[in-house]
Chains A and B, each alone.
Chain A
C-alpha cells in the first residue's frame, strides 16, 4: 500500500477507522483470552489488558495519524470541529468575523485608493524621470511664459525633452448641441516627455509646433469613441473646432492616463510666435500662461537637472532677453511629477491612511481580546483534552484551524466590505483627487490586513492552549472555567485601555475636522449664495474675430452677444436678477486673465498690487448681493464712451487709503497706456478661490469699459424659487440669442460651496466613520472585560452582598473597575491625540489643533459610551443573589 492507498483511504476514512477499531479490539480480546487461559477471571483480565494497553483513544488517534488520511481528511475533520465550536458560541463568532471584516475591509479600501495615488509609480516609462517646473511667485508655484520655456529648452543639457502646455477649451460644433471640450495646447514634445505615443496615427511633428502652423489635433480614446463612434477613418480627416477645420492626426491609447489634466480629450500644438520674443514684450509670448514638464536624460540625476535649470534661471544671457515680470528672479520650483500632482491631496490621504491604520490596530486588539476571553473560558476544555491523551500539537493544530477559519470568514466578508468601500470612496472622492481611474480593489492591501489580523488572532488564541498543553494546568480540568481566567485579566485590561486610547485619538481627529468644517461653512463668502444659479458661457466662432480690416468688430460682437444673452435671461419668468462676471467666486475655473497688477496714481512704477480683475455687467454686484460700503454700484451709464469707472473692495480701499475715502482715486488695472479708471464705489470683500483663503483685493469694471473682450463669462442668476429648476429655461434664453455658444459649468452656488469643501468633507466623513467604529469596538472591549470579571467574581460579590454591601456599593465596585480602565485609556489617548493632531495640520480651519472644547467633548463622549457599556455588567452584578452565588460552588 503506497501513496495511492493513502489517497484511496481519503475517500473511505470511515472504513479505515472501523478497521483500526476492529484491529485494536481483536488485540485486546486476544490478550484477555490469554490471561483467562492463565487463570484470571474475565473481568480482571479485561481490566489488566486495558491497563497494559494504555489509553485506547490516544492509541487509536496515533494509529490513524500514521495512516492514510493524515493530511487532508484530518484537516477537514478539524474544520468541521471548529465550525461546531464556533456555532456553539455564535456571539463570539459573529463579533470576531464582524470586527475582522471591518478592519480588513476598511484598511483594504483606503490603501486601494492611497497606493496608486501616492505610492505606485505613474503609468509612464521611467516615470521617476519626469519633473514639473514652475516659476516662483511669493514662495509658491506660478506659471511660466512661452519665452521662459523657449530659453530653458534651448539652454539646458539635462533634459531629453521639456514640454510646455496650457488649457485649451475649443467648442466642437457638429450637428448636436455645441460641446465645449477639455483640451490642452502643448509643445510637440509633450507626449515624448510622458513617454507615450498615439495608438492610432502619429504624434505631433516639430514642424507643426510653430506660429500659425497647420491645425492638427490628437484625440483621446474616450472622445474618439463617444463623438466619432471609433471610426478609424477619422485619422487624416477634419473636425470643426471653434469654427476652424482641424486635421485629426492621432488617437491616444485607451488606457492613457493624462495625469497632468485628467479630463483632457483633445490636444493641439501651441501657437506662439518665436519671432516676437525679442520684439514685443507686451504680447502673449511673455504672459505667464504655461505649465512646464520635462523628462530628465537617463543617467542625469533629478537634483542635477533641477540645479541646471536654477542656474540658467539665475544667469540671463544677452541672446535671451527677458521682461522684468518673466525674469525668473525668484528661482524655479522643480518637483517630481507624482509629488506635484498629489501635493493638494497628500495631507488628506495621509491623515485618512493614518486613521485607518488605527482602525486596523483596534480590530487587532479587539480580536486578541475576544480570543483571550474565549481561550480562558476554554482552558478547562483544553486541559480535559490533554488529560484524555490529545497531544499538545493536536490541540494547537485545532486552535490554529479555528483561528484560520475565523480569519477566513472575516476575510471573505472583508472582501465585500472592501469592494463596497472602494466604490464608496470613488463616489465620495473630492474633485481634485488624481488618478481616480487607477483606484481599484488592492489584493496586496487585503492580504496584508488579513495576515496581520490573523497572526494576532492565532497568537492570542494559542496562549491558553499552550498553557494547557504544558500539563501544569491539568488540574484545571477539575476547576470551573471562571476561576482560571484571572491570570490573563491584566492583559485583557491593558488591551481595553489601548482600545480606549486609540478610540480617543480617532474621536479627537474627527472632532477637530468637524469643528473645522463648521467654522469653514460659517465663513461669510461676501455675497448671498442662496437661490443663485451659475452658468459659464464660452463664446467661440469667427464672428468674434478681430481682423485687420475691422480691428474692433469681433470684440464688439462678443460684448453685444453677452449683453443680449443677459437681457434674454432677465426676461425668464422666475428670475429676480442676473449679471455676468469673468471671475465667478468659489470656482476653480482656470481664468487665465483673472489677476492683474493695479497701480494707483502716485504709486511707484513697480509698486502695483495684485488684484482680482472682475469684468462684470451692470447689476452684477446687486445680483450677488455684495454690499456697497461707499459710493455707487456700476450701472448702465458706465458705457464705453463714459469716464472709466471701477469699484474696489473694502480691504483694498483700507490698505491703500487708510483713514480716508477711496472714492475719486484713480488707478490703472493691467496696461498703463490707457486712461485712468476712477473709483466710484467701495464694495465688501468676496472669497474668490476658497472660503479658507483671504484674498480680498479686487477691482470691478464693466465689460463696456474693459480694454479687451473676454471670451468666457459666468452668468449669475438670482431666482425666486429653487435655482436648479430654472436651468433649462435659462439655457434656452442664452441659445435663443446664439445657438452655437457652449454653456459649460451649470451649477447652483450651493453646489459650488459644497464642492469647495469637498476634500475636507471627504476626510471628515471617513474620520467620522472610523471614529464611530472605534467607539463601538472600544465599548465592546470594555463590556467584554467587565462582564467576564463580574461572572468571575459572582462568588465574591455574593459574599459582599451577604456581608451587607448595599446595591450601591456593588454598583460602584463594578463601575469603578470599568471607569478606571476608561479613564486610563482616555488619558493615554489624549497624549496620542495631541501628538497626532499635528498630522491634520493643513486640514484644520479656524480651530487650533489643541482646541480644548473639542478634546473635552470627545473625552466626555468616550466616557459616556464606556459608562453605558459598563452599566450592563454592573446591573448584572447588582442582581446577584447571595444565596445562589454561595451555593453555586
Chain B
C-alpha cells in the first residue's frame, strides 16, 4: 500500500521542487510551491524547517551556506542521489494515493 500521510506529501513537494530548481533555500522553496501551485498550496514554515532538517538527517538532501541574489547568507538545499531515488518512490506513492482516493470518491 502506498505511504500516503501528509508528511509524505510535504516531503514529495520539497523533493520535487529541489529536483526542478537545483539548489534552493527554505524561503525559496515556500515561494516556489506557492507560485507553481497558483497559490493553492501554502507551506507552513513551522512544518517546512523540521522537514528539511529531517530529510537532511536521512541523507535525502544536502545543504550549504551561500549568498542570495540580494547578498544575504542563506542555507541552500539540493537533492542527493538517495533523495532522487526517494523522490521516485514518493511520486509513485502519491500517484497510487490519488488513484485510490479518486476511486473511493467515484464509488457510487
Contact = CB atoms under 8 A, between A and B. Distances in A.
Given A5-B57, A54-B44, A24 B72 contact: no
Interface stretch (A26-34, A135-143, A405-413): A26-34
A350 to B, nearest CB: 58
B26 A23 contact: yes
B53 A66 contact: yes
A26 B74 contact: yes
A63 B25 contact: no
A54 B57 contact: no
Contact of B46 (A1, A2, A22, A54): A54
A2, A6, A58 interface centre (most CB from chain B within 10 Å): A2
A33, A62, A66 interface centre (most CB from chain B within 10 Å): A66
B85 interface: no
A67 interface: yes
Contacts of B68: 30
A58 B27 contact: no
B75 interface: yes
A30 B74 contact: yes
A59 B57 CA distance: 18
B102 interface: no
A58 B57 CA distance: 20
Interface string A1-41: 11001100000000000011011101101110110000000
B57 A23 contact: no
B54 interface: yes
Contacts of B46: 54-55, 58-59, 62
B72 A29 contact: yes
A58 B47 CA distance: 11
B49 A1 contact: no
Interface residues of A, number: 28
A1 B56 contact: yes
B45 interface: yes
A23 B74 contact: yes
B27 A53 contact: no
Given A27-B45, A59-B49, A63-B50, A33 B70 contact: yes
A27 B53 contact: no
B49 A63 contact: yes
A529 to B, nearest CB: 82
Contacts, number: 69
A63 B73 CA distance: 19
Nearest to B63: A1
Interface string A819-860: 000000000000000000000000000000000000000000
A1 B45 contact: no
Contacts of A5: 57
Contacts of B59: 1-2
A33 B27 CA distance: 11
Interface in B48-107: 49-51, 53-54, 56-59, 62, 68, 70, 72-75
B71 to A, nearest CB: 10
A31 to B, nearest CB: 6
A23, A24, A34 interface centre (most CB from chain B within 10 Å): A23
A interface, by DSSP: helix, strand, loop or mixed? Answer: helix
Size class of the B contact interface (CB-based, 8 Å): 20 to 34
A52 interface: yes
A22 B73 contact: yes
A367 interface: no
A52 B31 CA distance: 13
Given A63-B50, A66-B53, A54 B45 contact: yes
A63 B54 CA distance: 8
A97 interface: no
Given A5-B57, A66-B50, A26 B25 contact: yes
Contacts of A27: 25-27, 45, 49, 74
Nearest to B62: A1
A59 B73 contact: no
A68 interface: yes
Nearest to A24: B49
B18 to A, nearest CB: 15
Given A26-B72, A26-B74, A66 B58 contact: no
B27 A26 contact: yes
Given A23-B26, A59-B45, A30 B72 contact: yes
B27 to A, nearest CB: 4
Contacts of B62: 1
B32 to A, nearest CB: 13
Contacts of A62: 46, 49-50
A6 B31 CA distance: 29
Contacts of A59: 45-46, 49
A30, A33, A67 interface centre (most CB from chain B within 10 Å): A30
Given A1-B56, A1-B57, A62-B50, A23 B45 contact: no
A814 to B, nearest CB: 51
B31, B68, B74 interface centre (most CB from chain A within 10 Å): B74
B34 to A, nearest CB: 11
Contacts of B45: 27, 52-54, 59
B57 A68 contact: yes
B50 A31 contact: no
Contacts of A63: 49-50, 53
A67 to B, nearest CB: 5
B72 A67 contact: no
Interface in B5-22: none
A34 B46 CA distance: 19
Contacts of B50: 62-63, 65-66
Contact of B54 (A2, A30, A66): A66
A663 B70 CA distance: 129
B53 A67 contact: yes
B57 A2 contact: yes
B72 A23 contact: no
Interface string B21-40: 00001110001000000000
Contacts of B53: 20, 63, 66-67
A749 B77 CA distance: 92
Nearest to B25: A26
A29, A65, A68 interface centre (most CB from chain B within 10 Å): A29
Nearest to B75: A23
Given A54-B45, A54-B46, A6 B57 contact: yes
Contacts of B58: 2
A20 B27 CA distance: 14
Nearest to A62: B50
Contacts of B73: 22, 26
Contacts of B75: 19, 22-23, 26
B49, B56, B58 interface centre (most CB from chain A within 10 Å): B49
A710 to B, nearest CB: 90
Nearest to A27: B27
A405 to B, nearest CB: 28
Nearest to A56: B45
Q: Which 8 A-B pairs have the closest CB atoms?
A: A66-B50, A30-B27, A66-B53, A26-B74, A63-B49, A66-B54, A23-B75, A27-B27
30 contacts: A1-B57, A1-B59, A1-B62, A2-B58, A5-B57, A19-B75, A22-B73, A23-B74, A26-B26, A26-B27, A26-B73, A26-B74, A27-B27, A27-B45, A27-B74, A30-B25, A30-B70, A31-B27, A54-B45, A54-B46, A55-B46, A58-B46, A59-B45, A59-B46, A59-B49, A62-B46, A63-B53, A65-B50, A66-B53, A66-B54
Given A22-B73, A30-B74, A63-B50, 6 more contacts: A5-B57, A20-B53, A55-B46, A65-B50, A66-B53, A68-B57
